[in-house]
């Protein structure tokens, strides 16, 4: 089996939303198609990838470093022992040759885009949904039938007020979600608490609403928010401080009894190891949100799960960032705790297959072989038009 072609493009996902740290006015994404010479149903198998969201398109890294490494490698070094399918672990070694350790920057995003497309191919060659392939190869044989998902939104919009926030949250509940998430940290504490209260008027109990500060706070502000949020009993308080400030996370956890979440900006298993060593994570309630695409792909994500296992922590504490079908397959196949969803933002990358509606806060994975992109018309249309 051989890779015969790769195509990468940068596409815009610009919007007028802001979180506490960034505006998405210039946000873009790399999309990737990898074509092989393996024929299934009369067509060459093609795998697709994209880089989740929140980090910019790593087109330069892909075009100048990682895709040439893939295409210049001896094809026999990229396949499994049968020779008839790609081997994501061998491909990872090829991509990372001559890369120094540490400084995980954004090369992890570029490698993650390739890794997504490779797993799409591997499952398509086996003619199985990726969730099934992962459960069979690495799990207990069968994937979870459905995965809990929550609606992430509640961004800061230019002319939004409390009633637009409430209408947004209501639309998620009407669409079948039972849990939602909104942004905090973009306004002073008293104004943010009014937003939280407005969302709670719609969503009901606090344990169905999470809040996300996107790493904005220093310790003092993080503690003030912890104190202000505590009475609501929220689902979780996310990324209060800088993602790599493990001691800040530890001190906050000592001062906030309810669940906290972090991890979407940790891009390596070494960073996760340090979070587990020093971040005061409480496995009975806290949530880890590493995104397999931003962080060197599923190959590295499995190393992160190993770090958890070594410490007796269940993968059920993981609810990946990103709201994409790749993480959904991983959540079902490796039995994580859930997955994010973006019903309104980052289209057409947010959301799941057309055939799998959200029901009672859960979603099934597509029956289509691979990641299931062929079961999501808007995304497939973009891949087909941009990558031909």
Check if the beta carbon of residue 252 is closer than 8 Å to that of residue 223: yes
Q: Is residue 19 within the footprint of ligand OAA (CB under 6 A)?
A: yes
Q: Six-digit token pair at 199?
A: 């969302």
Burial of 7 (0-12, 13-18, 19+ CB in 10 A): middle
The residues, ordered by sequence, that sit 6+ positions from 220 with a Cβ below 8 Å of its Cβ are none
Q: Smallest gap, in angstroms, from Cβ of residue 262 to Mg ion?
A: 9
Closest by CA to 322, choosing from 305, 308, 309, 336, is 336
For residue 358, give the DSSP letter.
Answer: -
Nearer to ligand OAA, 59 or 339 (CB): 339
Residue with smaller CB distance to ligand OAA, 78 or 327: 327
For ligand OAA, which residue of 8, 340, 374, 375 counts as binding (CB under 6 A)? 340
Site of tokens 């540490």? 102
Cβ-based nearer residue to ligand OAA, 123 or 211: 211
| Binding positions for Mg ion, 45-74, rule CB under 5 A | none
Of 212 and 300, nearer to Mg ion (C-beta) is 212
Size of the site for ligand OAA (CB under 6 A): 8
Query: Could you say which residues in the range 127-156 bind ligand OAA, by CB under 6 A?
Result: 152
Site string for ligand OAA, 200-219 (x = CB under 6 A): ------------x-x-----
Q: Where are the alpha helices (DSSP H) in 28-153?
A: 59-61, 67-72, 88-95, 107-125, 130-138
Catalytic site residue from 124, 128, 183, 269? 183
Find the shortest distance in angstroms from Cβ 237 to ligand OAA. 12
- On the question of a cis peptide bond just before residue 348, with omega within 30 degrees of 0, the verdict is yes
Binders of ligand OAA among 292-321, rule CB under 6 A?
Answer: 321
Q: Is 291 in the site for Mg ion (CB under 5 A)?
A: no
Task: Answer whether 7's CB lies under 8 Å from 387's CB.
Answer: yes
Instruction: Select from Mg ion, ligand OAA, none the partner in contact with residue 54, using the beta carbon and a kind-dependent cut-off of 5 to 8 Å.
Output: ligand OAA
Least distance to Mg ion, CB of residue 214, Å: 6
Q: From CA 301, how far away is CA 11, in angstroms rounded?
A: 25
Q: Pick from 8, 87, 115, 264 the residue near ligand OAA by CB under 6 A.
A: 264
Minimum Å distance from CB 323 to ligand OAA? 7
Whole-angstrom Cα distance, residue 359 to residue 144? Answer: 15
What backbone torsions phi and psi does residue 78 show, to the nearest 5 degrees? -110, -5
Query: Is 376 tagged catalytic?
Result: no
Length of the chain: 388
Rounded Cα gap, residues 109 and 168, in angstroms: 30
Tokens of 273: 């190891």
CB of 65 to ligand OAA, least distance (A): 25
The option from Mg ion, ligand OAA, none interacting with 38 (CB < 5 to 8 A, set by class) reads none
Residues 48-67 that bind ligand OAA (CB under 6 A): 54
Catalytic member of 104, 269, 321, 335: 321
- The two beta strands, 287-288 and 339-341, are unpaired
Contact 238, 212 (CB under 8 A): yes
* Least distance to ligand OAA, CB of residue 3, Å: 32
Q: DSSP assignment, residue 217? A: B
Report 177-216 residues binding Mg ion (CB under 5 A).
212
| Cα 268 to Cα 217: distance, rounded to the nearest angstrom | 23
Of 9 and 55, CB closest to ligand OAA:
55
Q: Is 335 a catalytic residue?
A: no
Q: Please give the residues from 249 up to 268 whose contact with Mg ion meets the rule CB under 5 A.
A: 264
Distance of alpha carbon 50 from alpha carbon 212, whole angstroms:
24
Q: Is 344 in the site for ligand OAA (CB under 6 A)?
A: no
Phi and psi based region of residue 296 (left: phi greater than 0; alpha: psi -120 to 50; beta: remaining)? left
Q: Which entry of ligand OAA, Mg ion, none binds 19, CB below 5 to 8 A by partner kind?
A: ligand OAA
**In terms of CB distance, is 304 or 327 closer to ligand OAA?**
327
- Beta bridge partners, 341, equal 151
- Residue positions annotated with a catalytic role: 183, 321
Footprint on this chain of Mg ion (rule: CB under 5 A)? 212, 264
Footprint on this chain of ligand OAA (rule: CB under 6 A)? 19, 54, 152, 212, 214, 264, 321, 340
């Amino acid at each position: 089996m051989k890779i015969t072609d790769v195509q990468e493009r940068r596409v815009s996902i610009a919007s007028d939303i802001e979180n506490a740290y960034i505006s998405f006015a210039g946000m873009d994404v790399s999309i990737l198609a990898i074509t092989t010479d393996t024929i299934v149903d009369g067509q060459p198998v093609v795998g697709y990838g994209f880089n989740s969201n929140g980090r910019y398109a790593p087109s330069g890294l892909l075009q100048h470093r990682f895709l040439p490494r893939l295409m210049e490698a001896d094809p026999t070094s990229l396949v499994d022992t049968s020779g008839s399918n790609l081997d994501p672990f061998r491909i990872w070694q090829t991509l990372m040759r001559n890369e120094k350790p540490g400084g995980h920057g954004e090369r992890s995003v570029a490698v993650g885009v390739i890794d997504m497309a490779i797993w799409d191919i591997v499952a398509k060659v086996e003619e199985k949904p990726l969730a099934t392939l992962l459960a069979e190869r690495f799990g207990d044989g069968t994937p979870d039938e459905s995965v809990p998902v929550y609606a992430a939104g509640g961004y800061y919009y230019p002319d939004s007020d409390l009633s637009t926030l409430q209408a947004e949250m209501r639309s998620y509940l009407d669409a079948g979600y039972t849990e939602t998430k909104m942004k905090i940290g973009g306004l002073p504490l008293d104004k943010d608490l009014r937003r939280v209260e407005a969302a709670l008027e719609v969503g009901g109990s606090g344990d169905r609403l999470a809040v996300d500060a996107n790493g904005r706070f220093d310790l003092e502000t993080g503690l003030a928010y912890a104190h202000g949020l505590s009475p609501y009993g929220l689902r979780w308080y996310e990324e209060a401080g800088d993602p790599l400030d493990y001691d800040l996370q530890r001190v906050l956890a000592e001062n906030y009894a309810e669940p906290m979440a972090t991890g979407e900006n940790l891009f390596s298993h070494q960073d996760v190891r340090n979070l587990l060593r020093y971040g005061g994570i409480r496995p009975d309630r806290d949530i880890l949100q590493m995104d397999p695409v931003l962080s060197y792909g599923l190959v590295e994500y499995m190393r992160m799960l190993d770090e958890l296992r070594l410490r007796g922590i269940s993968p059920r504490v993981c609810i990946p960032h990103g709201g994409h079908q790749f993480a959904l397959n991983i959540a079902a196949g490796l039995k994580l705790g859930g997955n994010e969803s973006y019903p309104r933002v980052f289209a057409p990358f947010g959301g799941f297959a057309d055939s799998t509606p959200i029901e009672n806060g859960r979603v099934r994975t597509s029956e289509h072989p691979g990641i299931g992109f062929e079961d999501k018309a808007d995304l497939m249309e973009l891949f087909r038009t941009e990558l031909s």
